[in-house]
Amino acid sequence: MSTPKKPGKTPPDKHVDEFSGVSTTGHEWDGIKELNNPLPRWWLWTFYACIAFALTYSVFYPAWPFGSKATPGLLGYSSRAEFAATMDAVQTGNQAMLTQIAQTPVSDILADPELARFATAAGASAFKVNCTQCHGTGAAGGPGYPNLNDDSWIWGGTIDEVYTTIAHGVRSLTDPDTRYNIMPNFGADGLLDTAAINQVAGYVASLSGVKGGQSTPEGATIFAENCVACHGEGGVGVVELGGPDLTDAIWLYDGSLEAIKAQIQKPRHGMMQAWSEKLDDVVIKELAVYVHGLGGGQ
Ligand code: HEC
Ligand code: HEC
């Protein structure tokens, strides 16, 4: 039985397309016919090459799932073993560096670029773990916590001084070698009366242009008689005594006239633990190199 031919519709059988001269597959959708073109040569060969590569690969490298593992492959390669070998190599390299840091005085580490680079990187990560809660992630500090990026150092900015400060802390209660100095309670202990405090505070404020500051001969005299021992002639600071520079507009506490008066009235004192009680000497050296390299090292 043959179905009658509808006008405009070709029956679904193979025939040669009249435009391209290629035979069709016999498939047709809404008048669009599929040509039976062979796959391009290059495509076919690439395809065969991929299959060949995959089979060869699966013979030499771990490939087919097999029980809880996979077929090991003739070369015995394992990414886990490669990773372990890399880690071993890094560890051995690190160990050599760490031994060298342990044996090198901290000031000599800077003279060895490779060692200094290693110590800086290690110091940066130790800083993140131990120091950022007080000195900030960028070591920029905050009220009561000194900025470690600037070149103003309360306790000195040479690598040896920075190392000593970190190792022994500041006003540590347990380390006898800690950085220690206490500013007298000028107001609270009646060493200076309110008028004198106002005058000397005005003088100190004037040294760095703090608002409300006023340099008077009285203020300068009170300063010379009571303050230069720790803050230096003209207030430039004494690092051996941890007396901050009062002329540089960098303040440990807030640098307002009120804060200056408050410090003279009843001083505050920062405390930092002696890190040698908690950290290995190698880590402290690394920290000193890192902090010294932050920009303000002398
Ligand atoms: C015995 C030493 C000593 C004497 C004397 C002394 N100071 Fe100080 N002063 C310090 C120390 C140490 C600090 C830092 C406190 C800290 O580290 O927390 C300080 C801090 C200050 C600060 C705060 C600085 C800042 O960066 O915020 C001011 C202001 C100040 N002193 C003013 C004076 C004035 C004015 C006098 C004299 C009337 C005086 N000091 C006498 C040791 C001294
Ligand atoms: C609990 C808070 C705290 C932590 C944590 C801390 N510090 Fe400090 N650090 C301070 C204070 C407060 C001072 C200022 C002491 C003073 O008043 O003289 C200071 C001072 C310093 C100074 C001296 C700055 C100068 O101008 O001389 C260095 C260097 C320093 N810290 C490094 C470190 C390093 C490195 C670590 C991490 C191992 C660390 N600090 C962790 C509170 C802290």
CA triplet 130, 136, 139: central angle to 5 degrees? Answer: 90
CA atoms within 13 A on the CB side of 74: 6
Measured from the alpha carbon of residue 181, the closest ligand is: 1
| pLDDT tens-digit series, residues 109-126 | 999 999 999 999 999 999
The reported pLDDT for the residue numbered 2 is 47
| pLDDT tens-digit series, residues 128-185 | 999 999 999 889 998 999 999 998 999 999 999 999 999 999 999 999 999 999 999 9
Phi/psi of residue 143, nearest 5 degrees = -55, 120
Q: For a pocket test of ligand 1, which of 150, 263, 266, 272 has the largest count of ligand atoms closer than 8 A to its C-beta?
A: 263
Name which residue sits closest to atom 20 of ligand 2, judged by CA.
Answer: 146
Enter the tokens of residue 168: 């022994």
The reported pLDDT for the residue numbered 1 is 43
Name which residue sits closest to atom 36 of ligand 2, judged by CA.
Answer: 131
> How many Å lie between the centroid of ligand 1 and the Cα of residue 174?
23
Higher pLDDT, 297 or 223: 223
End-to-end CA distance of the chain: 105
Q: For a pocket test of ligand 1, which of 227, 241, 265 has the largest count of ligand atoms closer than 8 A to its C-beta?
A: 227
Rounded CA-CA distance 263/278 in Å is 31
The reported pLDDT for the residue numbered 205 is 97
| pLDDT tens-digit series, residues 61-101 | 988 888 888 888 899 888 889 999 999 998 888 999 999 99
Enter the tokens of residue 209: 């242009």
Enter the tokens of residue 74: 């003739």
> How many Å lie between the centroid of ligand 2 and the Cα of residue 272?
5
Rounded CA-CA distance 48/129 in Å is 55
Q: 223-250 in b/e burial notation, b at 16+ Cβ within 10 A?
A: beebbeebbbeebebbbebbbbbbbbeb
Tell the residue number behind the tokens 């009366």, with chain if given.
193
> How many Å lie between the centroid of ligand 1 and the Cα of residue 183?
5
